[in-house]
Amino acid sequence: MLNKSREPLRRPRRKSRLQSADSFAAVRDTLLSARRVAYRFVAAHWPDLADVEPQVAQRVHFQPDPALLAELGLDPQSLPAAPDDECYIFTFSGTIRTPDGFNAPRVASVTVDAHQRVLRSTMSK
C-alpha cells in the first residue's frame, strides 16, 4: 500500500469578529425596522391579526440562467437586473370567528423592503 502525501486541512480565512458583528447588527436592525412596519400595517388593516407573531422569510429574486436565455434566443443584458435591496416577507396566521360560530383561518402576508416600504400585501379570503 502506498502512502499518500496529504496536505493539512486548511480552513477558509474568516472575517474578523468585529466585521461579522457589524454586518450582523446591520442586518438585524434592517429586519427589526421592517418588522415594525409590517406590524403597523397589519394593525391598521387587519386588527384581528395585530397580536400575532409573524413568520419571516427573505424574498428571493429569480434570475434565469444565461444558457437558457441563449437557448431561447434572448440577450441576458436585455433583462432588468435583480434588485439589490433585501425584501422580507412577514406572514401573519390566525383564526377568526364567523357569524355561523365556526373558526375560519386568516392569513395575511406583507412584503417590506430594506427602505421600510410596503411592496405588497395579501389577505386570505
Cα distances (Å, whole numbers) of residue 2 to 7, 8, 43 = 16, 18, 71
64 domain residue, yes or no: yes
Q: Is the pTM of this model over 0.95?
A: no
Give residue 48's domain range: 20-76+85-123
Main-chain dihedrals φ then ψ at residue 119, nearest 5 degrees? -85, -35
Asked if 55 and 90 touch (Cβ cutoff 8 Å), the reply is yes
Give the model's confidence band at 38: pLDDT under 50 very low, under 70 low, under 90 confident, else very high: very high
From 104, 62, 110, select the one nearest 83 (Cα to Cα). Answer: 62
Tell whether 6 is covered by a domain: no
pLDDT score for 80: 67
70 pLDDT band, cuts 50/70/90, is confident
Q: Does 8 map to a domain?
A: no
pLDDT of residue 14: 62
* Residue 109 maps to a domain: yes
Query: What is the total count of domains within the chain?
Result: 1
